[in-house]
Amino acid sequence: MSLQLRPILGRAARASGCLLNSGRPLATSIHGVSPSQRFPPLGYPPRASPVASNSTIQKPLPRDDLKKTQRFREFDLDGKVIVVTGGGRGLGLAMAEALVEAGGQVHCIDRANDPDPDFLEAQKRANPEFGGSLHYHRMDVRDREAVESTMQEIARKKNRLDGLIAAAGINRVGDAMECTEKDIDDLMTINYHGVFFTATAAAKQMRETKSDGSIMLVASISGLVANKGMTSAIYNSSKASVIQLTRNLAMEWGKDKTGCGNVRVNCLCPGHISTPMVEKVLQETPESENIWEEANMLGRLARPEEFRGVALFLLSPASSYMTGAALVMDGGHTAW
């Protein structure tokens, strides 16, 4: 008896309206070649048979015979427009800087009227030779109308929106039996409603501008485990909600019927990070620091800049086949 194998054939190239292959001119880089030469777009083989219409095989990346000075084109964000909520300082700002260095046009959103001194210092560090830029917008993620209009304003400038990091969030430590209705509303309206509003507003603009986008929601290991030393039932459950929201949005937005505006959605579950928000928690419960360090395989808290790489990974084509995932980065805290 013979067994006949049928080859898996590729899907048709994407429609010319997609931003990925829009043919827009790109600026020449400091290395004397355009980003499209340094980082060729990832192509798709042509349609060969109706039988294979549901299968896609990505072509292998071309060899770099010219020995160019910049490598890893999968991480290039040249010309891409990205929004970071909670980007005024702390973790959000650290991740935003990484995207700028990769060539992204990054718009940080926070509710402070004026940028934090940390943000102003980051703007000074933004090297124009990288091709990226860093901008500040005052906005409250709880205001859905403001969120919608701000996303639209940002997307219209370049007729595209390629990415979102939803990092805005607050915490409040306390016994569950002592929590008031206001405590619940305050945390949930920012940690869940705000994330929901920003994600949906960003996805609408990605669809309208036919941008294949990537969204990263910032959750926490507190949404995965009962976090010892973190007595905050509201915060922990709000982060669990974000993790489940990630899966559902990934399911809804992964494949657009037009073939353009496909949106990937993942979430990051960090461990304990030395940020202004965490420092405030430690002021209220100083014993938590020793508990967290002892429960951590690396024996310490994380630094915000240690999340630069994972932000770039999730917002770039390097993670093109990743969606609906909760990426845990916690120094081994949840691996015991």
DSSP result, 30-66:
TTSS-HHHHSPPP--PPP--GGGTT---PPPPPP-TT
Q: Which two tokens stand for residue 62?
A: 């071309």
Q: Which two tokens stand for residue 213?
A: 């986008």
Active site residue 239: yes
Q: Say which residue the tokens 């402070």 belong to.
A: 112
Residues 105 and 132: beta-carbon distance below 8 Å? yes
The domains located in the chain, with CATH, are 80-329 (3.40.50.720)
Candidates 314, 323, 327; CA nearest to 77 is 314
Candidates 142, 167, 143, 139; CA nearest to 154 is 139
Query: What confidence score (pLDDT) does residue 321 get?
Result: 98
Tell how far CA 272 is from the center of its chain. 19
For the whole prediction, is pTM greater than 0.85?
no
pLDDT digits (tens, 9 = 90+) for 107-126: 999 999 999 999 999 999 99
Q: Is the pLDDT of residue 322 over 60?
A: yes
Query: What confidence score (pLDDT) does residue 18 get?
Result: 57
Query: What confidence score (pLDDT) does residue 33 get?
Result: 43
Catalytic residue among 80, 136, 192, 239: 239
Reported as a pLDDT band with limits 50, 70 and 90, residue 315 is very high
Q: Is the pLDDT of residue 244 over 70?
A: yes
pLDDT digits (tens, 9 = 90+) for 47-83: 444 444 444 555 555 554 544 555 678 999 999 999 9
pLDDT digits (tens, 9 = 90+) for 184-195: 999 999 999 999
Neighbours of 73 (CB within 10 A): 22
Q: Is the pLDDT of residue 90 over 90?
A: yes
Candidates 145, 169, 159; CA nearest to 217 is 169
Q: What is the largest CA-CA distance in the chain?
A: 75
* Percentage with pLDDT > 90 across the chain: 68
Q: Where are the alpha helices (DSSP H) in the chain?
A: 35-38, 90-101, 117-125, 144-158, 181-188, 195-208, 233-253, 276-284, 287-294, 308-315
Active site residue 235: yes
Helical pair 117-125 and 90-101, crossing angle rounded to 10 deg: 10
Query: What confidence score (pLDDT) does residue 260 get?
Result: 87
Catalytic residue among 80, 192, 210, 235: 235
Helical pair 195-208 and 233-253, crossing angle rounded to 10 deg: 20
Q: Select the more confidently predicted residue: 66 or 168.
A: 168
Q: Is the pLDDT of residue 20 over 90?
A: no
Q: Say which residue the tokens 């777009």 belong to.
A: 41
Q: Which two tokens stand for residue 110?
A: 């926070």
Q: Is the pLDDT of residue 310 over 80?
A: yes
